Chain A
Amino acid sequence: MSDIEEAVRTRGLFKRFGEQVAVGGVDLVVPRGGFAGLVGPNGAGKTTTLSMVTGLLRPDAGTVLIGGADVWRDPVTVKARIGVLPEGLRLFERLSGRELLSYNGQLRGIPKAEVERRAEELLRVMDLTDSADKLVVDYSTGMRKKIGLAAALLHNPAVLFLDEPFEGVDPVSANTLEEVLRRYTASGSTVVFSSHVMDLVERLCDWVSVMNRGQIVAQGPLEAVRGGRSLNEAFLGLVGAHAHGNGGEGLSWLGATPS
């Protein structure tokens, strides 16, 4: 696969926080078009990797190429090309949903009339029209994810990076998010998202990268990574978590108390 066909490629990406190596030499590859899932247990380094890939965190070593352009050497090209929904939903809390979208669009240099047109459509599709003039600080988790995604999509990026987009989202909002993202990828754009929800990754993604302890332990087309098993089974095997079975040892007191 040449660099041009790859939406994202990192080489030897490395980040250390104090003594702790958060990301230890990650070579992430994401092909162009479709959904790519980044899965891994808590603390595997998914968020750190995504922060470095999107230029929000400076790596200690390694390179990041997005569509062949280096994030840290050619930010002008890269930043116009990517959309980001970081973890923790850090948004401008004291703007209304509509104001947040128009702020974002104007920062991107999109003409105001065009920003307003797109914002209106995004708000409608995300089912946020009724709450468009409420402050983001008063939004629920699902609403925040939706407005965050709307802001990330506003400039029609080629690659979208979403950190846990479905975490804490109710089924109705999750369905909306999924539909919007499917429509987005249908035209050949790429979505890279991290998640704990294996069923969802299995359903959406054509490509999966599995991280554990700051390393990529498996990467490739979904079918190849899961190798005939369910993704959940494959994942548990890859990260070295073994089912404890019925566990004769310990927890003997747990369960209905004989009286």
Chain B
Amino acid sequence: MAGSDTVVSADAPAARVGPMIFARLKLRLVAGNLRGDTTRLLGFIFTVIAAVVVASSGFLTMAMLRMAPAEVAQDAGIVVFTLFLVGWAVVPLLAFGLDDTLDPSRLALLPLRTRQLATGMFASSVTGVWPVATLIMLSGAIVGLPRGAGGVAVGVVAVLLQFALCIVVSRLVTTSLSGVLRTRRGRDVLAISVIFFILAAQLPNLILNRGLGGDPLTLLHGAAVALRWTPPGMAAHAIADGGPVALAELAVLAALTVLLGWLWIVALRRAMVTTDASTEAASVRNSKGLLARVLPDGRLAAVATKELKYARRDPRGRVGWFASLAVTGILAFSLGGQEGAPPGPGLAVGPACLGALMISLQSCNSFGIDGRSVWMNSVVYATVRDWRTDLAGRHLAVVTIAAPVLVLLALLAAILAGNPVWALLAVPLAWGILGVGLGVGALTSVLLPYTVPDRLNAFTGAAPGQGGIAFMGSFGAMIGTGLLALPVVLPVMFGLTWAVLLALPYGILIAWAGRRIAGNIAYGRYPEILESISRPA
């Protein structure tokens, strides 16, 4: 491989390095990733099937806009095109961080001109299941939007430009952030920003649910007016318009794509000569923490304080807590918003119990976040009791944060529901469910452990090939907790309010039993647990 003007030896003519080489490299990497690993192969097949379904249904939906009134079709086109662009800018960042094929620094040592690198990276970026699916979906607009022959001709160009724009923007974003993303702090910030992405994705749902915008068509039109002059808005408008205005819009779009491509090349050139900016490490506060002062010196205190530090310092810990509370908030908000529901203690009890369930679900893979470092505990623990104490320490840490949080949640929900006294019902029940959840979670932690990747993303919380286990673990924990909580929840639901007095002792009992059984299992199969939580991810 050599640049066109370098002299190689006489008997080896320099091969031209075109974009195709990069596309083939990408395909080779994809194929290499799948070799000899059935779960990954199945995952890939599943992805392909999903992409085919998404692409064809997307294409059909876009094409069916033909049947809608011209204006509605144009509005929908503008909004959808904008969503595609935003998606391409954000999703690769959150979902994959930097994937190996596209990290320019890995190619920095090869004698490639920046232009070759840029076209090559563009080629490798469009080689993939999802780019092709995107192109197919966008092509639906050629059928759905135009109202004349001119529109179809313009449409082909507009769709290609919009597609190129998506790819270039996505590359520009990852390349310009690649320096930041290679530092620990940058990745931490990104991991936490995942949570805002999840929340943002819930926004339209909430708006529709609460009926804030009124008529969906008005809402659509409002959005389309706002997005009309954005580049994807212009692309969609051009297809619908098909006249001279459309040609002008296409020119603007093409110029913009070239400009962004140029910016990307500049960013690429800079990224290739910038070394990993390592973060100047700051010292942490060497605080003992309240729990450490209260607890007797020993293993329980060690594990519990370590867990509390992790909840604070590990982005995955923070994301976990934020996510539990956010999901609870969203569910409570949308459930509470339904009209016609009679106000009652249920509106206070429901969110609190939901919060307890959500928080306890974080513990359905207790050892996962520690990952490979659990060896440090394994080389020490020599008895069943040691493992039980470890689990108890983890539970203690969760309860330290969750107990006051649930009180606040219950109070808030009760006040919103109309009677603060209902919190007296909600708090013990929520605490009880937390106990049940922790007990069940202890079992899933030792029976279905999986690796939580360092680089958290919004779409999967497990290492490649372990998605199934993660799914079974969290759903098992959720269903198990739900079923085991019934003995205390049902009586309260049917009006036997004194039953809340039993909720807390019942929760403590289940948590204790869960730890007891899980401790036995962990003692028996800790090498296997260690292996499943130490997968490369």
Instruction: Indicate if the CB atoms of A58 and B373 lie closer than 8 Å.
Output: no
Verify B383–A76 contact, CB threshold 8 A. Answer: yes
**How does the 8 Å CB contact mask read for A107-146 relative to B, with 1 for contact and 0 for none?**
1110110000000000000000001011101100000000
A95-B383 in contact (CB<8A): no
Chain B residues near A55: list those with CB within 8 A: 378-379, 527
Q: Do residues B301 and A134 form an inter-chain contact, with CB atoms below 8 A?
A: no
With a cutoff of 8 Å between Cβ atoms, the chain A residues found around residue B372 in the complex are 88, 90
The answer, yes or no, to whether A196 is at the interface (CB within 8 Å) is no
Q: Does B534 contact A (CB under 8 A)?
A: yes
- The one of A54, A78, A79, A94 that contacts B310, using a Cβ cutoff of 8 Å: A94
CA of A47 to CA of B410, assembled, Å? 52
A92 & B306 in contact (Cβ 8 Å cutoff): yes
Q: Is the CB of B299 within 8 A of A76?
A: no
Contact A109 B298 (CB under 8 A): yes
Confirm or deny: A86 has a beta carbon within 8 angstroms of a beta carbon on chain B. Answer: yes
Q: Which of A106, A111, A133 contacts B302 (CB 8 A)?
A: A106
Residue B196 interfacial (CB < 8 Å):
no
Check A21 for interface membership: any CB of B closer than 8 A.
no
Residue of A nearest to B8 (CB): A257
Residue of B with least CB distance to A57: B527
Report if A238 contacts B (CB, 8 A): no
A112 and B297 in contact (CB under 8 A), knowing A79-B379, A92-B373?
yes
Contact across chains for B284 and A96 when beta carbons are under 8 A apart: yes
A78-93 interface bits toward B, Cβ cutoff 8 Å, 1 = contact, 0 = none: 1110101010101111
Give the distance to chain A from B394, nearest Cβ to Cβ, in Å. Answer: 13
B370 within 8 A of A: yes
Give which listed residue, A76, A82, A137, A253, contacts B379 with CB less than 8 A: A82
Type the 1/0 row for B486-521, where 1 means its CB is closer than 8 Å to any CB of A. 000000000000000000000000000000000000
Q: In the complex the two chains form, is A111's CB within 8 Å of B281's CB?
A: no
Are the C-beta atoms of A253 and B9 separated by less than 8 Å? yes
In the complex, chain A residues 226-259 whose Cβ is within 8 Å of any chain B Cβ: 253, 257
The answer for the CA separation of A133 and B281 in the assembled complex, in Å, is 10
Q: A18-32: contact bitstring with B at CB < 8 Å (1 yes, 0 no)?
A: 000000000000000
Q: Does A75 contact B (CB under 8 A)?
A: yes
**Interface check A104, CB cutoff 8 A:** yes
**B contact residues around A99 at 8 Å (CB):** 284, 286, 306, 309
Flag whether A151 is at the interface (Cβ < 8 A): yes
B310 to chain A: which residues have CB within 8 Å?
94
Complex CA gap A4/B243 in Å reads 94
User: Is the Cβ of B284 less than 8 Å from the Cβ of A133?
Assistant: yes
Q: Which B residues are in CB contact (< 8 Å) with A151?
A: 376
A106 x B298 contact (CB < 8 A)? yes
In the complex, whether A217 has a CB less than 8 A from a CB of chain B is no
State in angstroms the CA–CA spacing of A209 and B530 once bound together.
28
Q: Is the CB of B379 within 8 A of A134?
A: no
Cross-chain contact A84 with B284 (CB below 8 angstroms)? no
- Give the residues in chain A near B282, CB-CB below 8 Å: 134
Q: Smallest distance from the beta carbon of A26 to chain B beta carbons, Å?
A: 17
The listed residue (A98, A109, A138) touching B281 by CB distance below 8 A is A138
Cβ of A56 within 8 Å of any chain B Cβ, yes or no, is yes
Q: Report whether B379 and A96 are in contact in the complex, using a CB–CB cutoff of 8 Å.
A: no
Report B-chain residues with C-beta under 8 Å of the C-beta of A98: 286
Minimum CB–CB distance from B476 to chain A (whole Å) comes to 25
CA distance A80 to B383 in the complex (A): 12
Known: A56-B530, A84-B379, A88-B372. A94 touches B314 (CB 8 A): yes
Interface residue total, chain A, C-beta cutoff 8 A: 41
Give min CB distance, A250 to chain B, whole Å: 15
Flag if A79 contacts B306 (CB, 8 Å): no
How far is A79 from B382 in the complex, measured between Cα atoms in Å? Answer: 7
A76 to B380, CA, bound (A): 9
B270 to chain A: which residues have CB within 8 Å?
A: none
The yes or no answer to B28 lying at the interface (CB within 8 A) is no
| Chain A residues near B370 (CB-CB < 8 A) | 92
CB closest residue in chain A, given B380:
A107
Among A58, A82, A91, contact of B528 (Cβ-Cβ < 8 Å)? A58
Provide the residues of chain A in CB contact with B530, threshold 8 Å: 56
List chain A residues, Cβ under 8 A from B306: 92, 95, 99, 103
Distance (Å) between the CB of A87 and the closest chain B CB? 10
Q: A141 to nearest B CB, angstroms?
A: 13
Pick from B372, B376, B377, B382 the residue with the most CB of A within 10 Å.
Answer: B376
Render A160-180 as a binary contact track against B, CB cut-off 8 A, 1 for contact. Answer: 000000000000000000000
A91-B373, A91-B376, A107-B380 known; A133-B314 Cβ under 8 A: no
Report the bound CA distance from A76 to B386 in whole Å.
10
Q: Which chain A residues lie closer than 8 Å to B284 at the CB level? A: 96, 99, 133-135
Chain A neighbourhood of B527, CB < 8 A: 55-58
A92 and B305 alpha carbons, distance in the complex (Å):
13
Instruction: Tell me the residues in window 182-202 of chain B with beta carbons closer than 8 Å to chain A beta carbons.
Output: 184
Closest to B184 in A: A137
Tell me the minimal C-beta distance from B190 to chain A in angstroms: 15
Residues of A within 8 A of B283 (CB): 96, 133-134
Instruction: Report Cα–Cα, A88/B530, bound state, in Å.
Output: 14
Q: Is the CB of B313 closer than 8 A to any CB of chain A?
A: yes
Can you name 28 A-B residue pairings with CB atoms under 8 Å?
A: A54-B379, A58-B527, A58-B528, A78-B382, A79-B379, A79-B380, A79-B381, A82-B379, A90-B373, A90-B376, A91-B376, A92-B376, A96-B284, A96-B286, A98-B286, A102-B302, A103-B306, A104-B376, A106-B297, A106-B299, A111-B297, A133-B283, A135-B281, A135-B284, A138-B279, A138-B281, A151-B376, A257-B9
7 extra interchain contacts, Cβ-Cβ under 8 A, other than A78-B382, A84-B379, A253-B9?
Answer: A79-B379, A79-B380, A80-B382, A92-B376, A131-B281, A133-B286, A135-B284
Query: A residues engaging B (CB < 8 A)?
Result: 54-58, 75-76, 78-80, 82, 84, 86, 88, 90-96, 98-99, 102-104, 106-109, 111-112, 131, 133-135, 137-138, 151, 253, 257
**B contact set with A: CB distance below 8 Å:** 9, 12, 184, 279, 281-284, 286, 297-299, 301-303, 306, 309-310, 313-314, 370-373, 375-383, 527-528, 530-531, 534
Query: What are the 6 tightest A-B residue pairs by CB atom distance, in nearest-first order?
Result: A138-B281, A106-B302, A90-B372, A75-B382, A133-B283, A76-B382
